[in-house]
């Protein structure tokens, strides 16, 4: 008896161990993150109420964000992994970095439970990205206190980045994140990823199923219609493919109650009528058929033959899937099973999955570049909140301090071409990881505290043409590999660094005997003392500019920019680069703008101060001061400046397609740009403005936004220019600053004009006028018209009730009507006479994205539509109000 009992206990223990081991193994590759869970608080833990899954804190997978939890009285409504959350009040993009298996399909699920955790009773709305691509827009506004997103996605690298991107004033948050590797031969598509629409098993009772019933932790919901009858079995259905749904999902099926009727499943997707779908239908015969019984049916999608005739196998699952994506007319979709003439039994279906296809257009940055830049980030302990996600794409989220080459061919990954870490407090030696940025053209490490020698490997990066190492503590000699033609090397401000050859670039400093150095310093000290005495005597005769006393021949501007990293040019260099000012590009309030080239290949635009310019010194200082500390892909880059006596000049990157104004009018050789390009240009200009408003410290107001100050590069990418009137403000939403009124007639914010109080909403007004110009191609000021201002003209046209009269006739009606409507309403909202009613630039960006999406998805159905009536209430004081 004792021996039997011992054997029983032994077998029981072994079975329990095997069962526990099997469950642990079944979670192999699973990533289950409880977002916001403190590391020292029960992490990891098993969720015991429903799944038994092992959850861990998300703290080690993300570098930013704060933690909180839902109210205690709401916890009973959710499983434990949803009790805590992480929210992101700082930064535009915050990303999770997760190690996955490259090339394998993964089920990715993100859960968001708001439940008014912050007491604001205002749920957030934000974008969710997979790497560089938009996955979904999460909207928890109103009474929607929880939601979730699920996708099947094949990562193109071993690092998966899931990012929350702020799009408005609300704060992104997340409750849980789950990654599950899938079977190798399941959910194969011709292209794109699969976003879940429906996943259902057909039963009249029961709750939803997930792990451990589903080995991949998919969620299955019970669904049934009154036109159906349920059949079921107690026997197990064999599964011979990698889809592997829960056995309980296959143990029941639905058949039409009226055996002569088809089995029908319908859905509507009016929000995205052009969506394409993949369907996965799981069939198994679970009834005992009589000798003369036959169950055979055809499968139809939107009335067309999809598959069949099919005879389900007895107690063995068959999965039917379309080999290419299918679409539905107007978003109205129908999936039907119809019995054949030889069938004696109605059709059946056990379970069904429906997915929409999401195309991800952006390739991730070249993996070797990503590894290199992250190594540089780690080496210098750069905890920049904006250095998250893909370094290069999307372009409006490109890491600060980088430039990248981005090909129009989506199969060509972006490459990092410029790295600017000037004035960022770097210490230690020059990181060896820099040599792995094999397409790097420009490297700026100036004005830091770097020590050690200049490494030989910099000369091995063949693409490098500009290296700025000035203002550090480097020592030793400059390697021969860097003393070559075609390389611009700057090393001044490194007193222990010398050049052992006469072939150094002219910006390098030769090593001199100590006696000569001491003598030179002594002489310089005497000269400076004499000059200081002279300045004190002449103080009363000085001219005050922006708080600096400027004397003829002194260098207050030089002092202001002495520590700036951009290159300073001599006047003779300016004359040479412009070929003696041969080619004029334009003329502005500052002075003439000329075409030029640096080093014989880099094209530049050179703005030379006119001697008659009354704002010259102020604008010069403001523009140099701003552009030397801001870097954004949609702001014009400053190459350098010249301040030599009375000669002041600003040298910018050259943008070959001129300004937006000439491309709206077609004058000056400009081509008429189409509607989709106009929307993209508007988005890019808005991104540049948003960066000035919330990305700069202190925030900046441009004060002169107009179509002539939006320049276009060779790809018609927009860049904002002319920062001479820009001013800082305190930020914080309503903060304002009293300034002298400045700007361009017609674009000036009427509220700012009357009060002299400056805020970022002044730029929003000007942007609204720019957007109206892009929509209508009408002059901002037209003295010959009864409606002299563009807002008055638009208001008049709206009263006539025809949007086609508002749109630029040069577009030839080649635009989506709904997209045009949204853009017009946005422009009117921006140009509202009351600043409190204008949106922020972040909201403008979000709405422009919606316009572009509307244009892209509605292009086929709305092209060539005739006039549509407009229903817009008007604020007759200045501008119409958005409907």
Known catalytic membership, residue 271: no
| Cis peptide bond prior to 309, omega within 30° of 0 | yes
Q: How far apart are CA 114 and CA 12, in angstroms?
A: 45
Angle at 176 between CA 171 and CA 177, to 5 degrees: 105
Q: Give the residue from 781, 668, 657, 765 showing the smallest Cα distance to 719.
A: 657
CB 286 within 8 A of CB 278: no
Both tokens of residue 731?
Answer: 């930020």
From the candidates 34, 369, 659, 704, give the one annotated as an active-site residue: 704
Q: Is residue 806 left, alpha or beta, with left meaning phi > 0 and alpha meaning psi from -120 to 50?
A: alpha
Contacts of 825 (CB under 8 A, 6+ apart): 872, 882, 883
Task: Centre a 10 Å sphere on the Cβ of residue 341 and count the other Cβ atoms it contains.
Answer: 6
Partners of 543 in beta bridges: 550
Contacts of 20 (CB under 8 A, 6+ apart): none
Sheet holding 66-69, edge to edge: 66-69, 84-87, 173-174
CB 685 within 8 A of CB 770: yes
Contacts of 827 (CB under 8 A, 6+ apart): 768, 769, 771, 772, 775
Q: Give the residue from 24, 22, 43 showing the smallest Cα distance to 34.
A: 43
CB 657 within 8 A of CB 712: yes
| Virtual torsion, Cα 233, 238, 242, 245, nearest 10 deg | 10
Contacts of 354 (CB under 8 A, 6+ apart): 196, 197, 198, 199, 267, 277, 278, 279, 280, 335
SS3 state at 843: helix
φ, ψ for residue 234, nearest 5 deg:
-100, -5
Q: How far apart are CA 809 and CA 813, in angstroms?
A: 7
Q: How far apart are CA 47 and CA 52, in angstroms?
A: 5
Q: Which residues of 822-847 are buried (b: 16+ CB within 10 A; e: fewer)?
A: bbbbbbbbbbbbebeebbbbbbbbbb
Q: Give the residue from 211, 171, 28 showing the smallest Cα distance to 90.
A: 171
Partners of 606 in beta bridges: 594, 651
Angle at 105 between CA 102 and CA 111, to 5 degrees: 105
Partners of 373 in beta bridges: none
| 226 known member of a binding site | no
State the DSSP code for 694.
Answer: I
Tokens 């998919």 locate to 218
Q: How far apart are CA 677 and CA 770, in angstroms?
A: 15
Q: Give the residue from 791, 780, 767 showing the smallest Cα distance to 845.
A: 767
Angle at 270 between CA 865 and CA 187, to 5 degrees: 120
Sheet holding 402-405, edge to edge: 402-405, 415-420, 442-444, 466-468, 488-490
Q: How far apart are CA 398 and CA 389, in angstroms?
A: 9
Q: How far apart are CA 146 and CA 546, in angstroms?
A: 53
DSSP letters spanning 86-115: EE--S-SEEEEEEE--TTS-EEEEEEEE-T
Residues with catalytic roles: 704
Annotated binding-site members for ATP: 607
Which residues contribute to the annotated binding site? 607
């Amino acid at each position: 008896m004792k021996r039997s009992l011992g054997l029983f206990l032994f077998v029981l223990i072994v079975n329990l161990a095997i069962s526990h081991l099997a469950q642990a193994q079944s979670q192999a590759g699973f990533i289950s993150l409880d977002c916001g869970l403190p590391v020292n608080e029960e992490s990891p833990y098993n969720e015991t109420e429903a799944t038994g899954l092992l959850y861990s804190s998300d703290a080690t997978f993300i570098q930013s964000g704060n933690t909180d939890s839902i109210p205690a009285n709401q916890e009973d409504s959710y499983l434990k992994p949803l009790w805590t959350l992480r929210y992101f009040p700082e930064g535009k993009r915050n990303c999770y970095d997760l190690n996955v298996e490259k090339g394998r399909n993964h089920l990715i699920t993100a859960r968001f439970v708001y439940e008014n955790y912050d007491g604001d009773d205002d749920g957030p709305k934000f974008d969710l990205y997979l790497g560089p691509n938009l996955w979904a827009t999460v909207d928890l506004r109103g009474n929607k206190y929880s939601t979730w997103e699920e996708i099947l996605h094949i990562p193109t690298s071993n690092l998966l980045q899931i990012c929350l991107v702020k799009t408005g004033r609300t704060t992104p948050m997340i409750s849980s994140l789950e990654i599950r590797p899938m079977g190798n031969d399941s959910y194969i598509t011709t292209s794109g990823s699969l976003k879940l629409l429906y996943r259902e098993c057909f039963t009249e009772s029961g709750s939803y199923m997930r792990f451990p019933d589903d080995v991949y932790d998919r969620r299955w919901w019970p669904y049934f219609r009154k036109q159906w009858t349920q059949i079921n079995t107690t026997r197990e259905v064999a599964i011979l493919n990698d889809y592997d749904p829960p056995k309980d999902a296959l143990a029941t099926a639905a058949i039409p109650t009226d055996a002569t009727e088809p089995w029908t499943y319908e859905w509507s997707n009016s929000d995205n009528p052009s969506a394409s779908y993949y369907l996965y239908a799981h069939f198994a015969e679970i009834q005992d058929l009589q000798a003369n019984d036959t169950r055979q049916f055809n499968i139809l999608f939107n009335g067309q033959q999809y598959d069949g005739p099919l005879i389900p196998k007895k107690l063995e699952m068959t999965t039917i899937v379309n080999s290419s994506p299918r679409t539905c007319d107007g978003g109205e979709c129908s999936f039907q099973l119809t019995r054949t003439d030889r069938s004696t039994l109605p059709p059946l279906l056990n379970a069904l999955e429906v997915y929409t296809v999401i195309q991800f257009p952006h390739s991730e940055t070249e993996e070797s570049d990503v590894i290199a830049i992250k190594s540089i980030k780690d080496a210098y302990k750069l905890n920049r909140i904006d250095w998250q996600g893909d370094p290069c794409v999307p372009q409006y989220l490109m890491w600060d301090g980088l430039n990248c080459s981005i090909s129009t061919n989506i199969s060509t990954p972006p490459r990092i071409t410029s790295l600017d870490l000037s004035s960022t407090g770097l210490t230690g030696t020059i990181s060896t990881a820099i040599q792995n940025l094999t397409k790097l053209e420009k490297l700026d490490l100036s004005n830091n505290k770097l020590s050690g020698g200049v490494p030989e490997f910099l000369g091995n990066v063949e693409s490098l043409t500009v290296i700025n190492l000035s203002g550090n503590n480097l020592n030793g000699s400059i390697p021969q590999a860097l003393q070559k033609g075609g390389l611009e090397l700057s090393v001044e401000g490194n007193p222990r660094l010398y050049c052992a050859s006469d072939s150094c670039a002219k910006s390098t400093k030769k090593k001199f005997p100590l006696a000569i150095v001491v003598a030179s310093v002594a002489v310089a000290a005497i000269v400076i003392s004499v000059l200081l005495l002279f300045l004190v005597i002449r103080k009363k005769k000085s001219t005050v500019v922006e708080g600096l006393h400027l004397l003829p021949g002194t260098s207050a501007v030089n002092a202001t920019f002495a520590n700036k990293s951009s290159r300073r040019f001599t006047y003779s260099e300016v004359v040479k680069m412009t070929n003696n000012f041969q080619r004029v590009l334009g003329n502005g309030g500052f002075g003439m703008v000329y075409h030029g080239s640096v080093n014989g290949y880099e094209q530049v635009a050179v703005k030379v101060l006119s001697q008659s310019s009354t704002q010259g010194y102020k604008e010069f200082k403001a523009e140099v001061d701003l552009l030397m500390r801001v870097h954004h892909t949609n702001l014009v880059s400053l190459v350098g400046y010249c301040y030599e006596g009375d000669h002041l000049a600003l040298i910018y990157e050259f943008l070959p397609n001129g300004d937006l104004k000439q491309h709206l009018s077609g004058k000056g050789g400009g081509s008429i740009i189409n509607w989709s390009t106009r929307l993209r240009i508007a988005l890019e200009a808005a991104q540049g403005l948003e960066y000035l408003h919330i990305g700069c410290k202190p925030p900046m107001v441009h004060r002169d936004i107009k179509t002539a100050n939006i320049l276009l590069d060779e790809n018609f990418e927009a860049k904002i220019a002319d920062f001479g009137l820009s001013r800082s403000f305190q930020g914080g939403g309503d903060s304002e600053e009293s300034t002298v009124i400045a700007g361009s007639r017609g674009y000036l914010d009427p509220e700012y004009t009357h009060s002299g109080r400056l805020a970022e909403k002044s730029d929003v007004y000007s942007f609204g006028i720019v957007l109206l110009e892009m929509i209508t191609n009408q002059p901002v000021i037209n003295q010959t018209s009864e409606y002299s201002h563009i807002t008055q003209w638009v208001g008049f046209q709206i009263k006539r009730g025809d949007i086609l009269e508002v749109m630029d006739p040069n577009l030839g009606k080649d635009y989506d009507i709904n997209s045009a409507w949204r853009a017009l309403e946005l422009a009117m909202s921006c140009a509202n006479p009351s600043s409190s009613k204008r949106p922020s630039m972040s909201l403008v960006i979000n709405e422009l994205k919606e316009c572009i999406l509307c244009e892209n998805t509605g292009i086929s159905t709305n092209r060539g539509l005739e006039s549509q009536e407009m229903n817009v209430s008007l604020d007759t004081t200045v501008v119409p109000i958005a409907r």
